Structure 1
Amino acid sequence: MGIRSYYKQFAGMTDEEITDELREQAAEARRQALSRIEALDLSQTTWHELPHPDVVAAVTFAVRGMLNLAPDPTAEELRRAIGRRVGIEPSRVAIGNGAGQLLSSATRSLVKPGEELLIPWPSYGLYPLMAQRAGAQAVPVPGGHDVERLLAAVTPRTRAIALCNPNDPTGAYIPPAALRELLDALPEHVSLLLDEALVDFVSDERAPAASLALLDDHPRLLIFRTFSKVYGLAGLRCGYVLGGPGSERLLAQLAPELGVGQPAQAGAIEAIHVCDPQVAARRATVIAERARVLERLHDLPLDAAPSEANVLWLRAPGLSASELTARLRRGGVIVMAGTEVGDEEHVRVAVQAPIHVDRLLEAARTAF
């Protein structure tokens, strides 16, 4: 379009009509530009960047040199490395094919058919399946990241509580002092399965050690952690569980009978040795960007609950989760609709690098 033709299109229009027309043209140009940009997937809790190169090298070496050999079924070297890291005996560490496998094994060991597994809800979608596979009953506790609500939900049939802390998908967090209150008040027949897959993103850097300090005084506490999230090693499927004194026999039952693969063991050991600076940088990024999103949301018709995880639980009053998901998708950002965990109002969005947060905020601005 030539310059004369460009201005001629506005002939006979009022200033307001010209403004509206220019705004619509700009919006259309942006829609066309976004259609040529690959959508940004913020629907997952796993880390978006590639693993540390030294970890990749360790896994590659294990694949090339040891794939024909059976791995150490006890994962002794890895258990020793984790024990040194967290300050407990290796006999109180069990290694599994991801924290999820260990959580499932713990549920089958502790919760018998017809008994109850309490689950603060909404939470990690694996938990109800764990109860189902054990022949037990999953008992959701709405708003259950609250000590009083959890204790009120305990019955004589309750055998365990599966607590994701900080929670996926809401980011809710029960601090160690409140966890101690919960553990002190639980009946003797109830164990606490504390899933700390996202604990590295908690603002208080003392949080990981503070929860571990509860183990010595609470024999019914098991703490589950993973290399899948902040380490960015979800493809290795390697996690571990920690127990207090006297938990050794139970922990041995939770580990896979033939152990985890040698590549996973090698990658996890190397990650412990070399990834501290990388983990610290990722943690700092999530904490800073999480705060930035929450601050910017004040200018938008979106609500977000406080979060201590690498996710935010967003709601747009008046919109369903499906509609909000669709609007953000049109803006080039993929999120998880809360309908996947039975919530019709919220969506879960991952907090990643600043450039990704910029795209999220832009998609949110254009969604309304």
Structure 2
Amino acid sequence: MTDEEVTEQLREQSAEARRKALATVEAVDLSQTTWHELPHPDVVAAVTFAARGTLNVAPDPTAEDVRRELARRLAVEPNRIAVGNGAGQLLSSATRALVKPGEELLIPWPSYGLYPLMAQRAGARAVPVPHGHDVERLLAAVTPRTRAIVLCNPNDPTGSYLTPARLRELLDALPEQVSLLLDEALIDYVADPGAAAASLALLDDHPRLLVFRTFSKIYGLAGLRCGYVIGSRGAEQLVAQLAPELGVGTPVQAGVLEAIRVCEPQVAQRRATVLAERARMLELLHELPLDAAASEANFLWLRAPGLSDQELAARLRRGGVIVTAGSAVGDEEHVRATIQAPFHAERLLEAARTAF
């Protein structure tokens, strides 16, 4: 063989080795909205210590220490807070408390898949409002049988967001009999640093507002299943009613209490990373045949004109990225792709580039 033939053969062997190596790279799962990294070690230590020493003892049913620490940081009274087994449990309890059988729960759609089930379990009617993450559309959908609106803000899966000013417009215009269940599971990803405090300020003027938050997302504690709800002054009895009858477990309380105390720098770093990567990806993806909607969440809502959600998901999967197809919530054109670490963003970008 000539030197040129040997060189070409070596190139082919090298290229084949690279192809095989890439074929064995495990796909990156960008279908989940929970944080991908392990929790803060101090939180793990607190949970472990509590589990070793208190599993034979009934927990504090009111989670008083957790409520007091949350109240101190949120500048509200402890009796305006209830702690539950995730924001989902508290939202479901609120639906049963406020919406009676035969009455209506309005749901901007597409949104979090739990919401229709909450209405069903309450014996109520779930009323989806298409493209309903919009004040005017929601108000137009209200009927005499409407008793509550559940609003995921920022919205999962679209990333849409109603500012506190727009929320105030909605609350001011709602009839007296309609409550707003504001699900802020993803509030930490909103670019406006004052967003979380501004939504709580609405409670001062709107007694039929309930705000729900969680430790499952940016805190990375989904396995503990813990969230909380904040109500206005005068809603203390309703708020207490939403908590599970026997409270949440002692290891759960120990874990979230430690998270509140030590995770602020970690949460700030995760937030900064998501905001930076989200902005970068929105700019770069527009160079591809993809529609990427503006997002205030830790994911992007993507559409490829001419492709179904299933086809787009399959193409990205061949590129080593797993996303959530929108048909699960009635949208057959979009997919949801999580944005967290730069590594995830690069893998998504590369998969998108090779998909077309």
Which residue in 1 is equivalent to 2:129? 141
Match of 2:45 in 1: 57
Q: CA–CA distance in 2 between the matches of 1:31 and 1:169?
A: 34
Q: Aligned runs of 1:52-201 on 2, under 5 Å?
A: 52-201=40-189
Cα offsets for 1:62-96 (capped at 9, x unmatched): 00111111000011111101111101000000000
Cα separation, partners in 2 of 1:30 and 1:293, compared to 1, 3 Å: farther
Match of 1:313 among 279, 301, 310: 301
Other-structure match for 1:15: none
Q: Which runs of 5 or more structure 2 residues have no equivalent in the other structure?
A: none
Does residue 296 (structure 1) correspond to residue 284 (structure 2)? The answer is yes
Distance 1:56 1:161 in 2: 36
Partner residue of 1:327 out of 311, 315, 324: 315
1:253 positional shift:
1.1
Match of 2:342 among 354, 358, 364: 354
Change in 2 beyond 3 A, CA 1:357/1:253: same
CA distance in 1, matches of 2:303, 2:205: 40
The structure 2 residue matched to 1:263, chosen from 246, 251, 255, is: 251
Residue 235 (structure 1) shift: 0.3
The structure 1 residue matched to 2:260, chosen from 269, 272, 277, is: 272
Structure 2 letter corresponding to 1:338:
G
- State the Cα RMSD in Å: 1.6
1:35 Cα deviation from its structure 2 partner: 1.9
The alpha-carbon distance between structure 1 residues 186 and 38, as it changes in their structure 2 partners (threshold 3 A), is same
Cα deviation for residue 219 of structure 1 reads: 0.4
Asked if the contact 2:151/2:181 (under 8 Å) is kept, the reply is yes
Cα distance, 1:34 vs structure 2: 2.7
Paired residues, what number?
353
The structure-2 alpha-carbon separation of the partners of 1:7 and 1:206, relative to structure 1 and needing over 3 Å to count, comes to same
Which amino acid in structure 2 is aligned with residue 301 of structure 1? P
Matched, 1:345 2:317: no
What amino acid sits opposite 2:198 in the alignment? A
Q: CA 1:325–1:66 in 2, change beyond 3 Å: closer, same or farther? A: same
Letter of the 2:181 counterpart: L
Q: Conserved in 2, the CA contact under 8 Å of 1:119 and 1:144?
A: yes
**8 Å Cα contact 1:118-1:160 kept in structure 2:** yes
Q: 2:21 and 2:331 mapped to 1: Cα distance? A: 32
Residue 270 of structure 2 is aligned to residue 282 of structure 1? yes
Deviation digits for residues 296-351 of structure 1 (CA, Å, limit 9, x no counterpart): 01210100110000011000001100001011011110000001111100000000
* Equivalent position SS for 1:340: helix
Q: Deviations over 1:166-200 (max 9, x none)?
A: 00000000000010010000000000000000000
Question: Are the aligned partners of 1:72 and 1:262 in contact in 2 as well (CA < 8 Å)?
Answer: yes
Task: Write the letter of the residue equivalent to 1:212.
Answer: L
Q: What SS does the aligned partner of 2:162 have? A: coil
Q: Aligned pair in 2 of structure 1 residues 5, 229: CA closer, same or farther (>3 Å)?
A: same
Q: Percent identity?
A: 78
> For residues 118 and 5 of structure 1, do their structure 2 counterparts lie closer, same or farther at Cα, with a shift above 3 Å needed?
same
Cα distance in 2 for partners of 1:75, 1:8 equals 69
Contiguous gaps of at least 5 residues in structure 1:
10-21
Q: SS of the residue aligned with 1:214?
A: helix
- SS for the counterpart of 1:299 is coil
Deviations 1:116-137 (A, max 9, x none): 0000000000000000111111
Inter-partner Cα distance in structure 2 for 1:296 and 1:181: 34
Rg: which structure is higher?
1
